[in-house]
Amino acid sequence: MLKLEKRRQPSQVWAYLAPVVAVVATMVAGGLLFAFLGKDPLLAIRTIFWDPLFGEFAFYYRPQMLVKGAPLVLIAIGLSLGFRAGIWNIGAEGQYIMGAIAGAGVALAFYPLEAWWLFPLMVICGALGGCLWAMIPAALRVIFGTNEILVSLMLVYVAEQFLASVSLGLLKNPEGYGFPGSRNLQQYPSAHNAELIAGSGMHWGVVAALIAVIMAYILLNRHLLGFQIRLTGEAPRAARFAGVKPKQLVLLCMGLAGALAGMAGLFEVAGPSGRISIDFNAGYGFTAIIVAFLGRLHPVGILLAGLLMALTYIGGEIAQSSMGLSSSAIQVFQGMLLFFLLMVDVLTNYRLKLAKAETA
């Protein structure tokens, strides 16, 4: 009979090892799943994890890593601050949508103006849109003590309906022959979030994601606020004695997460996606939750986890076209990753011991 025994100190080794073990376990379990679906498991794993990086068409897929990874990292960095402090913003998807709508709305309002300040203004408005949307659950929690998990999630559905409404109405392309969706921002030079170096996949969102990683690292390791965030998560009572103001922390963490998610949405709509449409959002806000945990809520970890998750998106698309592996199989695969991570994580705080019989 195996028994868990609490460690005095969390294991440093397992803290680093757990994500790796989780990825390996997911590959094994995912391979079994693919075999069950009648696909060659080794080929599938190779197609997902190897081909985008080193395969024949890697020159095309490598830039995609940055394109898909940037929004995931950007959102996950914001979420990780809150998660560390026990503030559960799981509505990043909604904040992403609202940021995109706010930023694109500004661009479309000025159409067809050509001005250097338009894009920066869009970024600011995108961040504001996401921030304000996240402020709703934050304010309700601070004022009324309402559960922020449920409110932030409900607002995702509200945002999706709002997205449908604006792409059919307010922001609809007047020259779009009645089809839903806005003008294409890629054809609007002042508003286009173009690649900074052609063919590299590097757009302003990637730059913002890298800056966010660095800022979050400094915040958590070198700044009093970061200390307060960590303290609140690990010892809420001690945090109160240390003078942490929990309400301010909620507003700040949620606001930051919302702003980053909103910016991610804006960079996406002004760049790779190009236009506001009914199904413009691709679930990055939810996948970013997996990224945040897989990166152990640590900025550098999140950067790596974001790239890994981007790899599964791209590899999944390749496997979809070359092997007929369905996109939902990839979704299951990504879900497994979080599952195994949480499972393995027990070894960070506990050690396994052989025990005789259970007493109670």
Grouping H, G, I as helix, E, B as strand and the rest as coil, residue 114 is: coil
Q: Which is nearer to another protein, 88 or 119 (CB)?
A: 88
Q: In the set 61, 133, 204, 333, which binds another protein (CB under 8 A)?
A: 333
Please tell me the count of residues contacting another protein according to CB under 8 A.
50
Structure tokens at 292: 């945040």
User: x/- binding map, residues 291-330, to another protein, per CB under 8 A?
Assistant: --x--------------------------------xxxxx
Q: In the set 45, 125, 153, 264, which binds another protein (CB under 8 A)?
A: 153
- Examine residue 168 and tell whether it contacts another protein (CB under 8 A): yes
- Examine residue 88 and tell whether it contacts another protein (CB under 8 A): yes
- Examine residue 34 and tell whether it contacts another protein (CB under 8 A): no
- Examine residue 140 and tell whether it contacts another protein (CB under 8 A): yes
Q: Measuring CA to CA, how many Å separate 64 from each of 35, 205, 272?
A: 27, 13, 10
Contact 55, 315 (CB under 8 A): no
Pairwise CA distance, residues 201 & 207, whole Å = 11
- Examine residue 350 and tell whether it contacts another protein (CB under 8 A): yes
Count of CB atoms within 10 A of residue 352's CB? 11
Contact 318, 52 (CB under 8 A): yes
Pairwise CA distance, residues 13 & 142, whole Å = 38
- Examine residue 161 and tell whether it contacts another protein (CB under 8 A): yes
Stretch near another protein under the rule CB under 8 A, chosen from 13-21, 95-103, 215-223, 332-340: 332-340
4 - beta bridge partners? 352
Q: In the set 134, 289, 311, 319, which binds another protein (CB under 8 A)?
A: 289
Count of CB atoms within 10 A of residue 202's CB? 17
Pairwise CA distance, residues 277 & 266, whole Å = 13
Phi, psi of 4 (to 5 degrees): -95, 135
Stretch near another protein under the rule CB under 8 A, chosen from 65-73, 104-112, 144-152, 305-313: 144-152
- Examine residue 200 and tell whether it contacts another protein (CB under 8 A): no
- Examine residue 48 and tell whether it contacts another protein (CB under 8 A): no
- Asked whether the bond before 112 is cis by omega within 30 degrees of 0, the reply is yes
User: x/- binding map, residues 93-132, to another protein, per CB under 8 A?
Assistant: ----------------------------------------
- Examine residue 227 and tell whether it contacts another protein (CB under 8 A): no
- Examine residue 170 and tell whether it contacts another protein (CB under 8 A): no
Pairwise CA distance, residues 181 & 303, whole Å = 32
DSSP state of 8: S
Closest CA to 211 of 97, 127, 282: 127
Q: Which is nearer to another protein, 88 or 204 (CB)?
A: 88
Q: Tell me the one-letter amino acid at 148.
A: E
Least distance from another protein to the Cβ atom of residue 358, Å: 8
Contact 13, 346 (CB under 8 A): no
On the CB side of 192, how many CA atoms lie within 13 Å of its CA?
13
Q: Which is nearer to another protein, 193 or 334 (CB)?
A: 334
Least distance from another protein to the Cβ atom of residue 355, Å: 11
Q: Which is nearer to another protein, 190 or 312 (CB)?
A: 312
Residues 6+ apart with CB under 8 A from 324: 39
Residues 6+ apart with CB under 8 A from 273: 280
Least distance from another protein to the Cβ atom of residue 207, Å: 29
Least distance from another protein to the Cβ atom of residue 238, Å: 18
Q: In the set 10, 113, 165, 324, which binds another protein (CB under 8 A)?
A: 165
Binding site for another protein (CB under 8 A): 4-6, 88, 90, 140, 144-147, 149-151, 153-158, 161-162, 164-165, 168-169, 286, 289-290, 293, 326-336, 338-339, 342-346, 349-350, 360
